[in-house]
Amino acid sequence: MNRDKISDKVKSNKRYLNNEDLLESFVDLAIERLNGFDDVISDNDALERYIDKVVSKSIIDVLKQNDRYNKPRKEHSSKVDYKLFNYDNEKFVHKQFTLSKLKQLYSMLKNSDNNNDTSFLDVIIFRYKEKQNLKNLIETMEISQEEVVEILFDMSDYADKVAKI
């Protein structure tokens, strides 16, 4: 992933203002999260939208880690290792969602899989629990890269809805 491109996207984000000293942290986290996506996603528009979303979420997470993000009061998360949602950075899971919100998200994704024939839980298992890169994920699930991108966007929308509740 092009570091200068990510840096420019970070600088154009409204949350960057007055947080210029965290530029490297913003860029490093975004690049870590985007690792491998540019090789798999061939649609430039979809890639740009995904990069924008990851940059925005990375900025928020770094601000939270540095106690600079004003957020609504949330219940404290339990220190339970919710294995299905175990992300490489444990702080991401515990700061982003409480255990009850993770259970709610899991329930929404499972219901969608059962009722709408989606593959959300399979993507979570292969991508995050088994830590497969996107190329292996596409091969394992035998679906196109466009479908994987669409699933990731849809999952992100579900997560956003749960986070706002």
Q: What is the mean pLDDT of residues 64-77?
A: 65
Q: According to the model, what pLDDT value does residue 1 have? A: 66
Whether 44 shows a pLDDT value over 60: the answer reads: yes
State how far the Cα of 122 lies from the Cα of 156, in Å rounded to an integer.
15
Query: Whole-structure pTM over 0.85, yes or no?
Result: no
The pLDDT-based confidence of 119 (bands split at 50, 70, 90) is confident
Higher per-residue pLDDT: 81 or 157: 157
Q: 134-163, pLDDT tens digit by residue?
A: 888 888 888 888 888 888 888 888 777 777
Q: 1-43, pLDDT tens digit by residue?
A: 688 999 999 999 888 888 899 999 999 999 988 887 767 777 7
- Cα–Cα distances (Å) from 45 to 4, 10, 14, 107, in that order, read 19, 18, 21, 31
Q: Which of 159, 85, 162, 157 is nearest to 127 (CA)?
A: 85
